[in-house]
Structures are given as structure tokens and as C-alpha cells.
Amino acid sequence: MTQPHQHDSPGDPLGVRLSGALGEAYQLERELGGGGMSRVFLATERALQRRVVVKVLNPDLVSRATEARFRQEAEVTARLQHPHILPVLATGGHDDLLYYVMPYVEGESLRQRLSREGRIPVHEATRLLYEISDALAYAHARGVVHRDIKPDNVLLVEGHATVADFGIARVLAVSTTAGGGRSEPLTEAGTSLGTIGYMAPEQLAGDPDVDGRADQYALGVVGYEMLSGARPFSGGSQSELLRTQLTAIPQRLDELDPTLPAPLALCVARALEHDPERRFASCGDFRDALGLGFTTGPRTVARRPRRLAVFAVMGIAALALAASLAWFARGPSVKHAADRDLLVVAPFDVLGRDLDMWREGMVDLLSSALDGAGSLRTVSPTVAVRRWSGRADAASGSALARATEASMTVVGRVVRSGVDSVRVQASLMDAGSARALREFDFRVAESAMDRAADSIAVGVLSALRGTRGVSASPRGSIGSSTLSAVRAYLIGEQFYRRGAWDSAATAFQAAIQADSQFGPAMRRLSNALEWRRVAGFDSTLRITYAMRAGAMNRGLAPRESLLVAADSQWSAMATIAQPSARRGMAMRLLATLRAASVQFPRDPEVQFRFGDAQFHFWPFDSAASPGAAGRSMRTAIDLDSAFAPSYLHLIDIAVYEQEFDSAMAYGRRYLGLQPGETDAAAVSALVALLDRAQTLHLDLDSLVTALRGEPIRQLHDKLYNAADPDTALVRLLRVFARDSVTAQANVEAVRRARHRIYGQALADRGRFAEAREASADRPLGYAGPMAWLGAASPDVVRAELDARLASGLPVDALEGIQWRTREGDTSGVKRAVQVTRAFEVRYGALGASYRQVAEAYDALVHGDTAGAIVRLDSVRSAACEWPECDAALLTLAQLHVARGNQDAAARLLSRPVRMRGPVRVVWMLEAARLAERRGDREAALRGYTYVREAWAGADAPVRAMMDEAAAGLARLRR
């Protein structure tokens, strides 16, 4: 436990008396703080040489009644063993001194965090609310009410909540008056009886029998403060605050901040009801409501009218997010040999090929049934299958548990016991002792295998009920009770784990045909269609299945619920045009998967999905980036090196970061899995092109033949950001552009498309003259940068830009606007503004970012630098997702540099760049210049190296940039 104030020594009379009362057991060191009802001292427990905190009650408030209550409450509180409750190690008393001893925890209080940061990110605040409410529910079930929940009494230990001072308030609540009667409750801030602003109305009224709903109310205040940065009630004095708290209804959180999930706002609003009967019945219900995502009773969504269908989809996704957050467990803050609450189900031994599907099928069924029951979690079935070897015996089960850091294993076998019946035997093993905790033996009809799995799950939960607070019924299900659907789903899962996407899709379709409400089968079908990557495949079908699964996200195991929620949110984004709504959905998606990654740190699919979302949507979240995406995907590979999709974006990220050796290594590992996707040809060519020892001797004609069709586009997309001085990609695309296309149906269209790809690769590398010559038409998107960089005749560029301006599309209108601004072309800039405004009127908020950019350059061309910065900064704040925003943000960074605001420029230029080719090169050069001025040698080296290598063969007009980069490298290396 930590406190914000520290004093030098316990040399005052109370400290001396306390030191004597503690005797030889503890060495008192110094006072940490306190006041009012108690004082806090730091001490060392001599026997174990560990630091502890000793909290002593104010002797002036101690009476015989208080002492009796203290000892009674101390016995109860000391038995509270919960991961989010600061335990009481010991209690004691001497004369009128009553004290208790707690661990000393390195960290800070929630109050300190709020004072520093103002508010807590929604995903983290929701997790903290869940952890605190879980702790309160645990304590209330054992008869202990806290009575003083506030940020000061919540410690943050490695990012997780720990509630301190449990049960102490109730000790002092029965302090007697001189006449022996009960005193009026003390309500001043800082006392142990409660704090105005956090105390429930019934507690303020002096009700001596307040129950756990008072703690729920206080937690609602804490939640409101975390999510909004302000308390729900305010007042200039204690009496004014008290009056406001008893009469006012705080504004709902999602009305203060529309980006907050409405279900979460409803949960907090209900906890803050004045009447205890209108709150949740218990803190356990509050915790579960965070999971269920909706509440019944007063103040429901009737206050906010329903929106259009797309926002209904967003609502479904928000509910699913809340459902996922309810299952937060303690994250992987400490690496340990065995997780007490982690169970792994081993693949069953199966005798008889006709029963083979149950080998892995029992892993899926039992893992789904047991995951999330109380504190129990199960290892991902994929990991269990990958790590398993041996037979259904104690030794093999213990080995699997060690490999997955589980403390318990279920091993079993399925054997034929008649024409249409089977015998199912299973054991719940303690991994440490290899001792069977419970054994099961069933004879059932083969058609009742799902019921056998349910019976085993119930038996496991019954065996663990006394140690892990689980109920005797399974918490989650696989999603269907139709056996034919379950069988098809389990077969699909086995194909899916092996990357056989077509076979998996066929099986999942059969499962859906047997049960049209089978949500997990719909999610998996969506996944299989996504990874199959058939050229020309209509993605609408994949999106439809994912969203239908999201609408049926009920009663599932926690892991499956999280993944269903994430996939439905991801798919819903394809239906949203409004930027603010897309951003809100992207934030929800990232929050869902961040929750999943903490809840299931050892699940490869969860870690992959989180990395995949960060890779695609990092502009929406400051915590996400290509680098963060790479870390999540590497974790996924460490857990399951055989899941092929994990490697594909790792290759992209390595190329983006110019780590070509890593890209080749990931490519070779991917190809070693013998994947069947169309990506395989592209990755094979990528490895060949990046291997500089071999690239000069490549048979490019044969390579082009192997890459005809979709793979050549994929190869180009993976390598366009590569600063490759050997220009292997350019040489390949030159052959590709000249390759015979006589067999194609539309010869001329194919030829133009090939020349355009070749021209883009040249322009990406600053070879604009060759790009114009090579392309069948203009290299789309580079007329502006060519003018801006002086790489083309102004008259030619102006004619081309004017023609594009006439298209009426904002992307075309903004092409070359930097050059128009520099040239003082006020009429051209004004026309660009008109195009973007017309687009916004026609398509709504979709065009807002385009308009802001155009108006910023209009301000610049008229000399209004401050106005331009304001408008461009609004584009930055909106996390504009179209890559062309990077050019505008580059201008913003240059304006900050010109005005001497290097910190603001550095924050902009340190972010990853989505824009390709010339804009990225100029961006990296600007970042290197600034980094050198600021003394950041590594960043400057990185930027100058990229510019030099990317434009090693650039045209003369832009070669000066490459020369500047080479000179910068020379300076830094000296």
C-alpha cells in the first residue's frame, strides 16, 4: 500500500507507542501519511524481511465497542483472499491502540493517476470497474461492506486494481458516544466512515444498516470520474456538494462523450440511482451488467432515440464489447510456472477411425463449457492440440500442463462400446502432483457425445467449486445444441487449424444449414472465406456472416464471445461511411481485442486478431502502430507457429521498417507451412527478390510466369515501401509489363494495368521521367508530388491537375494543392475548396476531412498560417483514415518547424506514414532533419538512410534530397 505523503520517522508519541506494541515482530521505519481516523506507517517484518504497512486507528476514537467490533471485523476481513483485494496480514491491539498490517505495494493510487491524467481510457476504465466490482461482490458475499470506496482506496498494481481498507469503515461505524449510544456517522472527507461525493444517499442519511449497494453507488462515482475526468456532483463547499449529491441527476456519460459505449454509460447511471432499489441488486449484478452490455429497469435507452440501421449494428458491437470486458482476468503481469486458474484439455485417445473427430472435438467442447466459470480459464484448443504428444495418462497430461503453464489437465479416451454406443473415460489431473482429482466413466450412445462432454464439465466444476468459486453448471456453450451442427462445426475447426480453408468453409456451411442460429459457425465461415483469398471473391458474404454472428452473441464462452464481437465490429465498419462513426467503431474494435489480449494472453488467435486490427486501424488509437501490431503477431507465432496468416502482415511490417532479413525469414517460415493461399506465390517471389545474393541471377521471365494474375499485385503491395537500391522489384515489373498478354480477353486493358503498376514502382523510387514513359497513361497520384518536387514542367502538370480538378472528386481536387499554394494559385485552391464542400454536402461527414484540408491550404495561400494550423490540426485530431491526409499532416509539421514549435512537429513526424512513394520520402527527410537538430541520432540515421536508399536512382531534379540525406549520414557517422 502506498500513500502520497511521507514523514521522516515515527518519533512522535503515537509512533513510539506503536513501535512498542509491535514488539520484535516489526521494525517501524517512518510514517507514510493518514490523518483523521487513522495513521499509516511503513515497517519491515523481521521474520520474512518484507516491507509492510501498519495502519493504526486514532486512539481517541477507540472504545470497548470499537475494539470488539475491530476484532470481529478483522477476523472476517483477514479471510478475504481475492486478487483485487489488499489482504490483511495481521491485526493487533495494545491498550487503546488497534492496528492492522497489510503488504506494502509498489505503485500508485487511482487518485494519483486521475490527478496526473484527468481521465482513464475507456477500455482500461471498464476493466478497472470490472475488477473492483468483482472484489466488492466477493466481499459482500462474505458479509463485508467497504463503505469508503473512492480513488484513494484503489491501488494500481501493474495496471490492475487492488482495493484497500476493506471492512475498516464498519468497525468505526459503531463507535459509541460517551453515553453509550451510537454516535452520528462521521461524513467529512478523509475519514474512514465515508467521503462526501462518494457516499450513497442512504449512507449520508445515517442509515446504520447500509448494504453492498452503497459500495456500488460509490463505485459508480469512481467510474464516472474515470470515464469523464470529473465527478458527477460538484459544489463549492461540503454542504453545497451534499445538497447537489442528494438532489441532482448527473448527465449521462455518453451524452458528455458520444464515443463512450452507451451500455457502459447505462451501467454507471444505474449504479448512481438515488434509490438503492433502483440500482443493481448487487455488485455482482453490476459486474455482470458490464458483461451483458444492457440493463433493465429505470433510465434505459428511451432517453436516446434509436438511430438508423448502421448504428443498430454499432450498438450490437458495443454490447458485445461490454460482454467481452466482463471476462477480464488478471493479465500476464507475472510470468510463473503454473497458473492456478488455468486448465488445459488434452486431445482424447480415440480407438476407432470412425470416432476420430472426437479426438480434438472433446477439446473444443470441454474448453467452451469450462472457460469463464468463476475464475477458471481454459487453454486455447489450438494450443492444446499443437502442444500435445503422448497418451491419456498422468505423465503426458502433466507435460502438456507445463508446456501451457496450466495447473490442471483433463485427459481422456473414447472407445467403441457397441454398435452405436461409446465409452468415454476422463480424469481431472492436478498437474503438479500428477494426482487425479476426479475421474469419470460414461457409456452413451454416440449420438449423445455432446451430453457426455457436458457431464464431464459438470463433474470438473463440482470438483473445483470449493476452491475457485465456480458453479456446478457450465458457464459457456459451443453455440448450438443440434448434434449434427456441432459435429460439422468440430470437423470444420480441425480443417481450420490446418489451414485447409476450403474444407473448413464447407464444414461450417453444413453446420449453419443444420442450425441457422449457430453464431460461432458463422464467425468461422467468415474467417475461412477471408483466408481463402479467392481472386474476385465477393466480400459481402463474409461480412454478412460475421455480422449475423455478432447479432447472436449470447451464452458463449468468454473467448468465443470476444472474437464474435470483434469480427462483427470489424465487418460493421464496411457499412459505415461517416468518419466519426467509423472511428468510434474502430476504437470499439481495438478495445474489444485489447480486452481479449489481456484476458487470453496465451491464445494465438486472439493475439493475431489484435495485431491484425492494430495493423489496419492504428491511426485511430495512439496505443496502436505497425510496431505494436508486429509484437502481437510475434506472440501469436510463439504460441502457434503453424497458423499461416500470422506471418503475412509480419512480412509487410518488416518491409515497412526496412528490415529485409526479417521479412525473408518470416517469408520462409510461412512458405515452410505449405500454405494454399494465393499469397504463397507472392511471398515466394518476395523472398527471392530480397535475397541480394541471388537477385542478380534470377530468371525473371520464369518468375513473371508464376506470378501472372493476383499474385503480382500482392507482391507490389508488399514491396512498394521497400527502399531497395538494387531495384529488384522494378526489374521484375519491367519484364512483367513487357510480357505477352495475347491470351488475355481484354489485351489492351491488361497491358495498361501492367504498365501502370510498373510506372508506380518507378515513381515510388523518384524515377518520374521513366514512370511517365513506361505508363500507358499517367502514373495515378503522382502529378502533384512531381510538381511539388520540381520533377516536371509546370505547364504540363498544371494542365493535368486542372483536368483532375474537373472530376468533382475530393482526392483529385486535392492532388497538387501544396504546389498550387506555393505557386500562389489562389483560384485553383479556391476551386479545390468548392469541390470538397460540394462533396461534403452530397455525402455528409465523409467529406469533412477533405474540406478541412482544402480550407487549410486556402488559408495558407492567403497568408493565414495560424488558420491553416488550426484546420490541419483538426484533421490530425479526427484521425483521418485516408492516406492522402499524410501529405496534409506533413505540411502541418513543416508549419510547426517554421514557427519554432519543434515538439509539436516531432510528435507528428514520429508517427508511422501510410502514404507511399514521394510523400513518404519527403516525410522521412523532414523527420531526419528535425531529429538531427534535436540530437536524436538514431531517428536521424533511420530517416536519412531511408531517403538515400529509396531514391538512390532518382531523377536529377529530386536527387538533391538524396544528396542531402547522404551528407546527413556522413555528418552523423563522423
Looking at the annotation, which residues are catalytic? 148
CB 632 within 8 A of CB 597: yes
Rounded Cα gap, residues 338 and 434, in angstroms: 13
**155, 666, 846 from 228: Cα distances, Å:** 20, 43, 28
Q: What are phi and psi of 530, to 5 degrees?
A: -65, -45
SS (H, E, C) 673-703: CCCCCCHHHHHHHHHHHHCCCCHHHCCHHHH
CB 464 within 8 A of CB 470: yes
Q: Give the strand order in the sheet containing 154-157.
A: 108-109, 154-157, 160-163
* Total residues found in the chain within this entry: 974
625 Cβ neighbours under 8 A, 6+ residues apart = 614, 618, 911, 912
For β-strands 339-345 and 406-416, DSSP reports them as: parallel
CB 456 within 8 A of CB 368: no
**9, 103, 407, 872 from 28: Cα distances, Å:** 9, 14, 39, 58
Neighbouring-strand partners of residue 555: none
Three-class SS state of 51:
strand
CB 724 within 8 A of CB 949: yes
Rounded Cα gap, residues 209 and 196, in angstroms: 18
Residue 382's Cβ-count burial label (10 Å; 0-12, 13-18, 19+) is buried
Closest CA to 913 of 608, 629, 657: 657
Residue identified by cell 453545497 is 240
> What number of H helices and E strands is found in the chain?
44, 14
Residue 279's Cβ-count burial label (10 Å; 0-12, 13-18, 19+) is buried
**519, 624, 922, 964 from 943: Cα distances, Å:** 47, 21, 10, 11
Neighbouring-strand partners of residue 56: 39, 99
Residue identified by cell 486478487 is 83
Neighbouring-strand partners of residue 191: 194
Q: Which 8-state DSSP code applies to residue 555? A: S
Which three cell numbers, joined as nine digits, stand for 711? 499474385
Three-class SS state of 310:
helix
Rounded Cα gap, residues 821 and 825, in angstroms: 6
For β-strands 154-157 and 108-109, DSSP reports them as: antiparallel
Closest CA to 757 of 784, 743, 742, 739: 739
CB 134 within 8 A of CB 183: no
Measured distance between the N- and C-terminal CA atoms of the chain, rounded to whole angstroms: 51
**344, 593, 606, 945, 961 from 478: Cα distances, Å:** 17, 20, 17, 52, 59
Which three cell numbers, joined as nine digits, stand for 21? 506494541
Q: What are phi and psi of 121, to 5 degrees?
A: -50, 145
CB 519 within 8 A of CB 549: yes
Give me the helices (H) in 33-109, please: 64-78
Rounded Cα gap, residues 974 and 969, in angstroms: 9
Neighbours of 419 (CB within 10 A): 6
